[in-house]
Amino acid sequence: MSAPIEDYALIGDLQTAALVSRLGSIDWLCFPRFDSGACFAALLGTEDHGRWLLAPQGEARQTGRRYRPHTLVLETEWETDDGAVRVIDFMPPRGLDPDVVRIVEGIRGHVDMRSELVIRFDYGKIVPWVRRIDSARVAIAGPDGLCLRTPAEVRGENLTSVSELTVSAGERVPFVLTWFPSHRPPPREIDPEHALADTDAFWDEWCTTCGYGGEWQDAVERSLIVLKALTYAPTGGIVAAPTTSLPEWPGGVRNWDYRFCWLRDATLTLLAFANAGHVEEARDWRDWLLRAAAGDPADLQIMYGVAGERRLTELELDWLPGYADSQPVRIGNGASEQLQLDVYGELLDALFHAREQGLEYEASSWALQRKLLEYLEHNWRQPDEGIWEIRGPRRHFTHSKVMVWVAFDRAVRSAETQGLEGPVERWRALASEIHEEVCREGFDAGLGSFTQAYGSSELDASLLLIPLVGFLPPEDPRVVGTIEAVQRELADGPFVQRYLTGAESVDGLPPGEGSFLPCSFWLCESLALIGRGDEARRLFGQLLDLRTDLGLLAEEYDPVSGRLLGNFPQAFSHLTLINAAFALEGERRLLREVPAG
């Protein structure tokens, strides 16, 4: 039986990440990048698909786990009848070679510990050759090599590297697992204690620049740490999540690979970083964008690999049974070839606000934005797959058209308030034309609400963004009516569905998914804008209660079972938490002006 998603902790080195279960097992880890093949894939199968367990032998009680303050260093404490131990898990920010470090520290008495290292490369499919080289155990298969170093004795047992040891009070026993390309010699040995001190110092220093000091400081800081951990440091690309195929509904087919850089998620993450004072991350992402989007603007994709790769071919791994028997297990993502017009607006909006927050002007960046606007000028009337990446027919989604308006509106604002050059009057006229069309075609007077798509009577939680991006002022009756309709038809307290996923749903998939947490945070912001601040804060508090004991969120939540659903942890959930916290504190200026033109 699969462990609950909320039982997992995240550790990472800014190039990849691992999930550590409450039982002390690392059940998911891809080396050397977020989107590389997994050497531990028990998360999507069984322990025979790869894992690394480090826990007391026999009966033991876990007495607590936590992150060290202001870090991504995990501490888990255990008690037995004979003593107590602490296991410290972390990944040092990447130097040359990626490491996972686990240190067993004796607290009192003595505790018998057991390490079981099951390495299965290529998502649990390949059993490596393992041999001893000097004091290390080295596993090799294809392009991958892993090197285990520890002062504890290691023996082979049923294709598993096993250590059994007794740890006494005051004693510290390290285990270090390092990935390396198999055609090279094993990497140099690191000092685990120095690595721990360096990792603590790195995260502590990074957190000192956080520009938020409000009521929800701990939640915002933890979410910022998650977003930083999902950033691929060599390029500045930001992955949506470190996992693939964690289901949006147990046993269902909505199982997608999120280990890529969505322009939408990344631009919104850029805004969260910029709001919190982390301008360097915004700059790195802008530079990543310039490289990834180079070429014909018509070839802009909604997502890329962490280094800007375009081919993200979707495959199914039939040897993995899936989390909670949810199949298929997918790698790659076919949605990379979709048309989603809203990403143009999100990109222009994010870069506009980043400049407002202090990101310096860069000529090639503005040149790219002008090229994208030129493409959009000739293509905005097309139907698309929309923000939710439907796998049914394209439609004229209202949210997509609103975000096209945002693209031209921000272009006008960039020229008028930031001194950038461009055909302002043409942009203004296009913004006015799009605005008029959306209000005419996307609003249903009978419902008193904007609708999911032109000519549709269905609602969509993405419509909550209409006042947040400044398309209409929050006091406009059409905005109030839309917020109330979404709350009435798609929400149950703080739990908001993206849209109804019944038999007639637009997405071309069987029904069934949880409440979508980013939409819930949008509802909080929207309610605050229309003067229902007390209700917004109450709902926000209820959403914070859904976080794990370590402050992490998945993409969705099932209020019936009380379980998190979907890939984990999810950047989209954490960035909307951050932006909602800023909005509720009144620390983030929202665009409430009447539309340009």
**What is the average pLDDT across 418-439?**
97
Q: What is the pLDDT of residue 589?
A: 42
d(CA 339, CA 386): 7
pLDDT tens digits, one per residue of 435-470: 999 999 999 999 999 999 999 999 999 999 999 999
- CA 334, 335, 341 angle in degrees (round to 5)? 155
| pLDDT band with cut points at 50, 70 and 90 for residue 507 | low
Question: Which residues partner with 339 through β-bridges?
Answer: none
pLDDT tens digits, one per residue of 227-271: 999 999 999 999 999 999 999 988 888 899 999 999 888 888 888
pLDDT tens digits, one per residue of 12-29: 999 999 999 999 999 999
Q: CA separation (Å) from 354 to 91, 275, 308, 344?
A: 30, 8, 21, 15
Q: CA separation (Å) from 314 to 333, 375, 570?
A: 5, 27, 20
**What is the average pLDDT across 281-297?**
84
Whether residue 296 is predicted with pLDDT greater than 90 in this model: the reply is: no
Q: What is the pLDDT of residue 588?
A: 46
Q: What is the pLDDT of residue 436?
A: 98
- Window from 42-46, 265-269, 330-334, 430-434 with minimum mean pLDDT: 265-269
Q: Identify the structural domains of the chain with CATH numbers, from first to last.
A: 5-184+193-205 (2.70.98.40), 209-585 (1.50.10.10)
Q: Which residue has the higher pLDDT, 432 or 300?
A: 432
Q: Are 556 and 517 in contact (CB under 8 A)?
A: yes
pLDDT tens digits, one per residue of 528-570: 999 999 999 999 999 999 999 999 999 999 999 999 999 999 9
Whether residue 404 is predicted with pLDDT greater than 90 in this model: the reply is: yes
| pLDDT band with cut points at 50, 70 and 90 for residue 170 | very high
| pLDDT band with cut points at 50, 70 and 90 for residue 594 | very low
